[in-house]
Amino acid sequence: MELPDFKIVAEQLRKPSGEFGLVIGENMNVSNAYMNKLAIDSLSISENDCVLELGMGNGKFVSDILNKHESVKYIGRDFSDVMVAEAKKINAGWVKGGRAKFYEGVADTLSWDTKTFSKILTVNTIYFWQKPEIELREIKRVLTDDGLFVIGIRPKDTMLKLPFTQYGFKLYSEEELKNLLTKNGFSIVSTHLEQEPPFEVNGQEVKLISLISVCSKQH
């Protein structure tokens, strides 16, 4: 069996585009389902929360957030115009009802006012941030003083098992992520390391680990 071009896969994971990008989006829904559930549960969503998700992909998991309470509002922002378009389609009902909005854009310049969001979520995006201190500064700015920021990654030792991560991925261990967050104005509320259900890559079973960090603003 011919192996995929892992450099192309890596580029698509960073910014899905074209027909292959649509496939990548669907594949991410499968491979990241367990991690997304952990991250969303860690948000501790409550009444009247305004949630920002950075890198929501095709928006498969938006309903899991909005179904937490009828008063919750959601905004998703993604680097990929293909993913934004798909998210609008998949969540057309939420968009029509005024509870979800989707925008194309990067995470280092957020176009919302200071202290807009009570909960902010990002899963498997930090690998692609060239200067993460800039993204984290913006996240802190738009987060309310009593809000929560939840970031989900797979730690470095797990990611090194995957063949595409050698192409443009910046990997973090649990300690490296903790240090990055605390140096950039966040306090770690809790950290969860969870063994994921077995996942297959190129016919081989890979055991992956989800690392979910729940953070608040340093005061």
Q: Is residue 134 in some structural domain?
A: yes
> What pLDDT, on a 0 to 100 scale, did the predictor assign at position 3?
47
3-state secondary structure of 133: helix
Q: Domain containing 14: what range?
A: 6-217
Q: Is residue 208 in some structural domain?
A: yes
Q: How far is CA 79 from CA 90, 155, 158, in A?
A: 17, 22, 25
How far is the C-alpha of 214 from the C-alpha of 42, rounded, in Å?
Answer: 7
Q: Quote the Cα angle for 105-109-111, to 5°.
A: 80
> What pLDDT, on a 0 to 100 scale, did the predictor assign at position 206?
77
Report the CATH number at residue 138. Answer: 3.40.50.150
pLDDT digits (tens, 9 = 90+) for 11-20: 888 888 888 8
| Start-to-end Cα distance in the chain | 55
Q: Is residue 111 in some structural domain?
A: yes
Q: Total domain count for the chain?
A: 1
Whole-model pTM: value is 0.93
Local mean pLDDT, 10-residue blocks, the chain (219 residues): 70 85 83 93 97 96 96 96 96 98 93 96 96 96 98 94 89 97 97 87 79 95
